[in-house]
Copies of this chain bind each other. A is one copy, B any other.
Amino acid sequence: MSSSRMHLAAFVTAGPGRPGGWRYPGSVPGWLSAGYYQNIARTLEDARFDLAFFADILSVPDRFGGSPDTQLRNGALGSMRLDPLHVLSSMGAVTSHLGLAATVSTTYAQPFTVARSFATLDHLTEGRAAWNVVTSFQESEARNFNRDEQFPREQRYERADEFLEVAGKLWDSWEDDALVLDTEQPLFADPDRVHPIRHKGDWFTVQGPLNVPRPPQGYPVVIQAGASAKGKDFAARWSDVIFCSHASLESAQDFYKEIKERAAAHGRDPEAVKILPSIAPVVGATTAIAQQTFEELFDLVPPLGGLSTLAYHLDVDLSTFPLDERLPDVEVPGVEGHYQEVREMTEREGLTLRELGKRYGGRVEGGFIGTATEVADGLEEWFGRGACDGFMVQAPYQPGGFEDFTRHVVPELQKRGLFRKDYEGSTLRENLGLPRVQSGEWANRVRRAAEAAR
């Protein structure tokens, strides 16, 4: 841990949420209405969460059997997703401190559009915008964007590097004091402090300037989940916040150490990179109630729902294997970490593929099931033993899971002095303990990287 207090982010889904969670009693099916997300936003802000985070995907995944049907039928993770940026704007309208993070792909968007979008969100929310950078890895996403197949991973990351370089240049294209607003002269904006960027690269040619003044935070907070070697390096170079998934405290500690070292190797302050493992705590008034809740939630996980999501996470068509046998060894082009996780589950618990689907869909990252005290004990241990700077909290069912956590676990963490009782600042960077980004910061990082490569 790099500070005495942890940071808490909420992993919200602009759709039915975790596998089977939509079937849990009281899981209001309000995913299409603004009020549903605004209520979650109020709950999180009342509890002083750092930020609400939305993952995203640009298709209904069809990696299971070449068809989206299994995802749709089971209300699996990719079955339905609203555009997270609009959801965030709605949430921003009813909150004043909560950070707002949306996933946007660098593979299927343009830097001018994305830089402008986050600059706008950062202005409208007075410095609370965050961008989760992904490169997308589903063939079904490529096929929604004029391609028969996606770019290879190496190319996607090259594009992402250049995308972020261009975004930084666009945010810097207005100096901080460029907007003068002198009605007398008149001088609205000082042209000497607004600069074309004239970027010409392998992927993008962008003249600039942006048509939005520099964002309140300088740049929005940048988030990334990097599991592959390439991903970890990308995250260490660019990210303010990194989220990850670990089956054990030990693997979280290893990851934490490695990322902080990589960040330092990029000339960055390791304290300025916050690492938040994903957890899906199930909280109850007693241990037995929490366990019972977990079991009932587990019962609701449709095996093929979990399996079709695993298929897209691994990027392997799992429909081609017998459901009542074990998953054989396979080549995994997708998320390597998830494959290790399910290999271990299969071996340890002797699961068939069908059982694995349910087990994967119903898994509780971090394994935190218990009373508020027990869950807080677990979080305190991870935090205290150098496994993280805080947590990315998933709700086992939405929105109730967030209420369980904020009403019971957060007060316990506050009592122990492990979590804030009041926001430290007004912008997300201030609350994360990160400095406002000075103009030219990313250009400098790109320059250092180029020098190091020589």
Which residues of A does B touch, CB under 8 Å? 16, 20, 22-23, 29, 32-34, 38, 57-60, 67-69, 72-76, 78-83, 85-87, 89-90, 92-94, 108-110, 112-113, 116-117, 119-121, 123-126, 140, 143-148, 179, 181, 183, 186-191, 194, 196, 204-209, 211-213, 300, 302
A sample of 8 cross-chain residue pairs with beta-carbon separation below 8 angstroms, ordered by A number, consists of A20-B186, A33-B126, A57-B211, A73-B188, A73-B191, A80-B179, A85-B86, A147-B205
CA distance A32 to B194 in the complex (A): 17
Contacts of A67 in B (CB 8 A): 191
Picked from B20, B110, B209, the residue with its CB within 8 Å of the CB of A68 is B209
Cross-chain contact B72 with A189 (CB below 8 angstroms) = yes
Give the residue name and chain of the B residue nearest to A37 (CB). Answer: B124
Given contacts A83-B117, A124-B87, A206-B146, contact A74 B191 (CB under 8 A): no
Extra 11 A-B pairs, beta carbons < 8 Å, given A82-B124, A82-B212, A146-B204: A34-B92, A72-B189, A72-B194, A74-B186, A83-B119, A83-B120, A86-B124, A90-B92, A110-B145, A112-B144, A143-B205
- Residues of the B chain whose Cβ atoms lie less than 8 Å from the Cβ of A72: 188-191, 194
* A123 (CB) vs chain B CBs: closest residue: B32
Pick from A29, A119, A190, A191 the residue with the most CB of B within 10 Å: A191
Return chain B residues, CB-CB under 8 Å to A126: 33
Q: Bound complex: CA of A109 vs CA of B116, how far in Å? A: 13
In contact, B86 and A146 (Cβ under 8 angstroms): no
Q: Which of A32, A38, A125 has the most CB of B within 10 A?
A: A32
| Residue contact A86 to B87, C-beta cutoff 8 Å | no
Inter-chain CA distance A87–B194, complex, in Å, is 23
Question: How many chain copies?
Answer: 2
For A140, the chain B residues whose CB sits under 8 A away are 207
**How far apart are the CA atoms of A131 and B109 in the complex, in Å?**
19
Closest to A69 in B: B191
Tell me the complex Cα distance, A453–B83, Å: 37
Nearest to A147 among chain B residues (CB) is: B205
CA distance A271 to B367 in the complex (A): 61
Is B112's CB under 8 angstroms from A181's CB?
Answer: no
Q: Are A113 and B108 within 8 A (Cβ)?
A: yes
